[in-house]
Amino acid sequence: MRLPVAELHLHLEGTLEPEFIMDAAARNGVVLPWRSLEELRSKYRFTDLQSFLDLLYVNLEVLHTRDDFEQMTRSYLRRAAAAGVRHAEASTDIQAHTRRGIPIEVVVDGVRAALDTSEDDYGITTKLIISFLRDRSPDEAVDVLTRLLASGARFDGIGLDSAEVGFPPSLFVGLYDLARANGLHVVAHAGEEGPPQYVADSLDLLQVERIDHGNRSLEDAHLVARLVAEQIPLTVCPLSNVRLRVVDDLEQHPIRRMLAHGLNVSVHSDDPAYFGGYIDDNIDAIVDRCGVTNDELARLARNSIDASFLDAEGKARLHSEVDVWSEAHSPAR
């Protein structure tokens, strides 16, 4: 039995595997800069966040039809089910599609078609987060959110991602005010490459409920004390952190230190097709390379459940699954 978890930090566009990209390009008549699967595979070496984003944004241009978005989402859910994911709060970078002329409805209807049957098809309950690109204008973000709200599209929350440094949370106060006024949940990437102040500002100015990544919080003892006291969830992505050089190597990853501080951390896959694995691969990696124990794994799973936007009943159901896993993995056995 795989550790039952909630996946809360997952970019659907980051689940496009190279084969999917080449097939969709052929199907949709998109000319990519790479001639072959092998050439594409050779591009997955990154020096920082931007070098990854450059590849991500080229590859996602193969997505054109409602069916493309549905198939992308189904492929992820199928793989996530095998990885132990029991609840997923997946995000889409909608502006990466609208800016190249893909209608909002094509994206949302396609993703929703897969999410709406996910519990029956894959045993995974879901929520949808619309992420905004912080390196595009705040006015565009407000316009897209306004159009989404008017369209009747069903989604549960908003996020903020893409290039972080130089694009502080303060730029997006209006966007987050609009989202909260409409009853949406709010999360934001912060402290991946950006300074600890971006984490504090995400809490104070945007009033986010979770921080995606948050690694650099560890540089500020006052911030750590606050995150512990308020039990602000940090959705941490170990394999992503290594590939994007947020940490030097997996052995140095701070996940156990974060747990020891009492931070509400959980483990997620971010962009699994780009960073060397899905949530199970992340879990196996921190067990093998960081020495994470079964007790710590159960803590990480419980944190992911508590940090989710599930209702009390949904959380209780998943906690009982972790109870079963813990029983089967207790030292007495």
Enumerate binding residues for Zn ion (CB under 5 A).
Answer: 270
Instruction: Give the largest Cα separation in the chain, rounded.
Output: 58
How far apart are CB 285 and Zn ion at their closest, in Å?
Answer: 17
Whole-angstrom distance, CA of residue 310 vs CA of residue 111: 19
Is 64 annotated to bind a ligand? Reply is no
Query: Would you list the DSSP string of 266-281?
Result: EE--BSHHHHT--HHH
Which H helix or E strand runs over 203? Answer: helix 196-204
207 neighbors 176 (Cβ within 8 angstroms): yes
89 binds, among ligand HPA, Zn ion, none (CB under 5 to 8 A by kind): none
How far apart are CB 131 and ligand HPA at their closest, in Å?
Answer: 7
How far apart are CB 301 and ligand HPA at their closest, in Å?
Answer: 21
69 neighbors 110 (Cβ within 8 angstroms): yes
235 binds, among Zn ion, ligand HPA, none (CB under 5 to 8 A by kind): none
108 neighbors 156 (Cβ within 8 angstroms): no
Region 141-170 residues binding ligand HPA, contact defined as CB under 6 A: 161-162
318 neighbors 119 (Cβ within 8 angstroms): no
280 binds, among ligand HPA, Zn ion, none (CB under 5 to 8 A by kind): none
Sole binder of ligand HPA in the list 270, 285, 300, 307 (CB under 6 A)? 270
Is 189 annotated to bind a ligand? Reply is yes
Q: Which residues of 113-125 are buried (b: 16+ CB within 10 A; e: fewer)?
A: bbbeebeeebebb
Whole-angstrom distance, CA of residue 319 vs CA of residue 24: 39
Which regions of 134-184 does DSSP assign to beta strands (E)?
A: 157-161
Sole binder of ligand HPA in the list 192, 253, 259, 308 (CB under 6 A)? 192
191 binds, among Zn ion, ligand HPA, none (CB under 5 to 8 A by kind): none
| Binding of residue 240 to ligand HPA (CB under 6 A) | yes
How far apart are CB 212 and ligand HPA at their closest, in Å?
Answer: 7
How far apart are CB 129 and ligand HPA at their closest, in Å?
Answer: 12
**What type of residue sits at position 179?**
A
For ligand HPA, the closer of residues 133 and 300 by Cβ is 133
| Binding of residue 15 to ligand HPA (CB under 6 A) | no
For ligand HPA, the closer of residues 75 and 162 by Cβ is 162
From 238, 217, 245, select the one nearest 49 (Cα to Cα). 245
192 assigned to active site: yes
Active-site residue, selected from the candidate residues 140, 192, 193, 230:
192
For ligand HPA, what does the binding mask look like between residues 33 and 52, x meaning CB under 6 A?
----------------x---
Residues 6+ apart with CB under 8 A from 108: 92, 94, 128, 148, 151, 153, 154, 155
117 neighbors 160 (Cβ within 8 angstroms): no
Which H helix or E strand runs over 51? Answer: helix 49-59
Whole-angstrom distance, CA of residue 209 vs CA of residue 273: 27
For ligand HPA, the closer of residues 15 and 302 by Cβ is 15
Annotated binding site for Zn(2+): 9, 11, 189, 270
Residues that bind ligand HPA (CB under 6 A): 11, 14, 49, 161-162, 189, 192, 240, 270-271
Annotated binding site for substrate: 271
Q: Catalytic site residues?
A: 192
Annotated binding site: 9, 11, 189, 270-271
